A and B are shown apart, each in its own frame.
Chain A
Amino acid sequence: MKKSAILWTFLIVSLLAFCGEAFSFPLKAKDDMGREIEFLKKPERIVSLAPTHTEILFALGLGEKVVGVTDFCNYPGEAEEKQKIGGYITPDIESIIALKPDLILAFGTLQQPFVEILEKRGQKVFYVYPRSVKDTLDLFERIGNITGAKVNAEQLKNEVSEQIKCIQNKIGQIHNNKRPAVFRVMGLEPIGTIGSRSFQTDVFYHAGGKNIFADIRKDFFQINIDAINEHNPDVVIVCGEDSEKVKQKLKDQKKWKTLEAVKKDRIFVISCDLVCRPGPRIAETIEKIASYLYPDKFVVYPERIISLGPSITEELYLLGVQDKLIGCTMYCKKPEEAKAKEKVATVIEVNLEKVISLKPDIVLATSLTDIKSVQKLKDLEIKVVDFPLPESFSQINDQFLKLGKITGKQKEAAEIINIAKNKVDLIRNKVKDLQRPEVFFQVGAKPLFTITGDSFINDFIEYAGGINIAENLKSGFFSREEVLKADPDILIIVTMGIKGEKEKKIWGKYTTLKAVKNDNIFIIDSYKLCSPTPQSFVEALEEIANILHPEDIGE
């Protein structure tokens, strides 16, 4: 008896918690036309008449219940698969009704006539028009409330307000007079703009700016160029998807040329999908605008990176920004996943068409990259950063740090370098007082080619406690005669396009060599040696130290 009582209580409590939201129905809610609307039960078929609503519904996890959206509802991607009911100001009433919705969400003054029509046809319509950032945050709750998604709505509201707070902390306190004056272009011919009754004015305020027409109590109105000039805006913000084209169109019109902001090219184009929707992405919008107004406080890190060097690719993975890597060379084979990335080049030759069509924010080139290609990319206003071949371990680290800075992962880069440095120091300490064997490092067979002091590979030998017999040479060409004369203690063959075993046999014929007598010929895989990241440097160093001082290093 007791047991079943506990079971029952448990069941009921969990059921209550589970359906808690369902129990809040029936409920009454006021919409922005001042009407009190009664909801008898939780809506199951919702039609959204605005992209903002669609975004909110999906953010609240109600995507399943959305049965109809407008032609403009493109976010999130799933929304595009929903039934279309027409445009924002041209919704098709019949197809809405055919969907048998139990809730229709309308938005903005332009839709007020439809609200009445739909209502007359017996539909339940909830109309909203947020006028500020706070209204937007409240809107999440209001929609959550009438759709039975209260918990999610609260969470969404908290998340977005947290993001906004974060952005405002970055901007810091700004006196009203110091706020950059923003002019928002809402139409070119005739010129349209927004006043204090548009939420965008508040968005600009939250981004640390001020709308030059913030004192006009309207949402949208027309204005002439002289009135704009009177206020002399610091920046012009316009919305569009193809920023270059939109900018050009604006610049092409004569009257705009009188504006100081246009003359100074202080025009910013932001996606209409972001700036015109008081939805869950409002924090993103605020951050974008804040980054225009305060560029030094918002470093914009590249989102689309193309790497033209195998080691750069490897380093990007080390830094954990592999998702931003959109293209690399054929030879980027480390780590394994890099093989799946789009191939845009060999180490030296770049397919410019491919690079451009991928629209990278930044291209990372090496000193092997064809300079003509680099020049062309720069001419096309693509940012190219050069990473010359490192000449030493410290240069490897410097470049890694540079890469960290570029990708916004400076801290991670510094950490990885620190670990690598410590490991290197450890090995160097171990071999410090040991006898230094003489080493010949072979990287090419015909003709015989070795490593000189100006390559980071020389550091391997030095740090591992050896002496490179070719360190002071200018060029890597080396004759066998010289090797016999120098008689190194150890021979290391790197399989860089040469057959290691075959080379080993050839050396084996020279029985006078110390290295041959003591069987001190070793073969190392070139992949380990030749793509120098701080991490792989340590790994290769460990291997070489092991060859040079097998007893003292050990595994």
Chain B
Amino acid sequence: MQNKVIRWILWVLLLGGILLGISVFSLCVGSAGIPVSEIFNLILDGKGSTGYSILIDIRLPRIILGFAIGGALSLAGVLLQGMFRNPLVEPYTLGISGGAALGVCINIVFKLNETAGIFSFPLSGFTGAVLVIFLIYSLSKKKGILKIQGLLLTGVMISFISSSLIMLIMAISRTEDIHGIVFWIMGSLEEPNWALIKLAVIIAVSGLITSYLFCFDLNALSLGEEEALHLGINTERSKRFLFITASLLTGCSVSVAGIIGFVGLIVPHFVRMFVGRDHRILLIASFLTGGAFLILCDTLARTIISPLELPVGVITGILGGSLFVYAMSKKQIVLGGNSA
């Protein structure tokens, strides 16, 4: 037992170190070509210079947002995979992203953003996400019991319906509006509003704290619902709570950064390979790894074909996917949470 705790602490320290290292690396590279040796001076010199503005107003917000979104999505992935005991579940499977995207599409087409301002995008995305969450939740609840498999199927269906609706909207809207929608769907960590970034961080971190309260429930749930019940877990309460936490984390991420795929699917699996499947460490480790991973991907997206930028989803997909396949071939393990 004692050994385990020490190992966990080492993992957290290691991952925290990696996160910090990647953040610093990300701050140092970019298309503006600021030499690494000058960065320290630029920050010390403070406001006023162009270099400072690039570092603090452009790069730093992206790093912080990458941390929050990457962490939140990975966390949501862990929660859902643990709860559903299904390795293919990710935050976007449940139709939450579809709902958010639909909300934003409607916003663009009806030009709400022209009257309500830039803040209306995340707001409409979030509204869409929350509506879908409630829809799925109420559809899957029968006689006060949340049917887990039903929840998954309803989510997948709602996801299809909303993507069809998005296509419908795109088909009948003007060229310029389509660009706006495509953009948003591609996902980006570029967010001009500091308040939103802070909000994303707060939500991600409080999501981590809340879900940590349920780490034993999650461990029990991964044995199977019935077993968990026998172990004395109030499964209904924890399922409800975990589902809502994961949904809010996803909805919030999607509404701020658009749809950034693969993070929520791959990071939990990846982390599970190394730290094991105990949720006490898995939650924190996934959160840190997800943050680091997304910051790294965004840095690559910014720099690979600089001065142009790639959508960050391209990198998360390619890098994450291939890294994962490689690791899986090296390390023989069972995916998902079906067995303890």
Contact = CB atoms under 8 A, between A and B. Distances in A.
Given A371-B180, A372-B118, A376-B190, A353 B30 contact: yes
Contacts of B118: 371-372, 375
Interface in B16-65: 30-34, 47-51, 53-54, 57-59
Given A348-B179, A389-B176, A357 B48 contact: no
Interface string A324-348: 0000001000000000001111101
B48 A351 contact: no
Interface string A369-389: 011110110011000000011
B306 interface: yes
Given A245-B48, A380-B53, A351 B307 contact: yes
A242 B45 CA distance: 12
A379 B56 CA distance: 13
A352 B33 contact: no
Contacts of A368: 176, 179
Nearest to B49: A242
A353 B59 contact: yes
Contact of B171 (A244, A330, A357, A477): A477
Interface string A303-320: 000000000000000000
B127 interface: no
Nearest to A248: B48
Contacts of B175: 389, 476
A380 B172 contact: no
B113 interface: yes
* Interface of B (DSSP majority class): loop
A348 B309 contact: no
A248 B183 CA distance: 38
A395 interface: no
A345 B308 contact: yes
A474 B172 contact: yes
Interface in A346-360: 346, 348-349, 351-354, 356-357, 359
B53 A372 contact: no
Contacts of A376: 57-58, 190, 192
Contacts of A477: 171-172
B174 interface: yes
B28 to A, nearest CB: 12
A456 to B, nearest CB: 12
A183 to B, nearest CB: 23
Interface string B150-165: 0000000000000000
Contacts of B227: none
Contacts of B50: 356-357, 359
Contacts of B302: 351, 353
A379 B195 CA distance: 13
Interface string A389-410: 1000000000000000000000
A224 interface: no
A372 B180 contact: no
A220 B32 CA distance: 42
B308 A353 contact: no
Interface string B251-288: 00000000000000000000000000000000000000
A354 B307 contact: yes
Q: Which of B33, B171, B180, B307 has the most CB of A within 10 A?
A: B307
Nearest to A249: B48
B234 interface: no
Contacts of B247: none
B235 interface: no
A373 B190 contact: yes
B236 interface: no
A95 interface: no
Interface string B179-201: 11001000010111100000000
Interface in B320-336: none
A248 B48 CA distance: 9
Interface string B55-86: 00111000000000000000000000000000
A475 interface: yes
13 contacts: A244-B48, A343-B307, A349-B309, A351-B31, A351-B302, A351-B309, A353-B32, A353-B302, A354-B307, A356-B53, A368-B176, A372-B188, A372-B192
- The 8 lowest CB-CB distance pairs between A and B, nearest first, are A357-B32, A376-B192, A245-B48, A244-B48, A375-B192, A354-B307, A353-B32, A351-B307
Interface of A: 242, 244-245, 248, 330, 342-346, 348-349, 351-354, 356-357, 359, 367-368, 370-373, 375-376, 379-380, 388-389, 454, 474-477
Given A245-B49, A345-B308, A356-B50, 18 more contacts: A330-B308, A342-B307, A349-B183, A349-B309, A351-B309, A352-B58, A353-B30, A353-B32, A356-B54, A356-B58, A357-B32, A367-B176, A371-B118, A375-B118, A376-B190, A379-B192, A380-B53, A389-B175
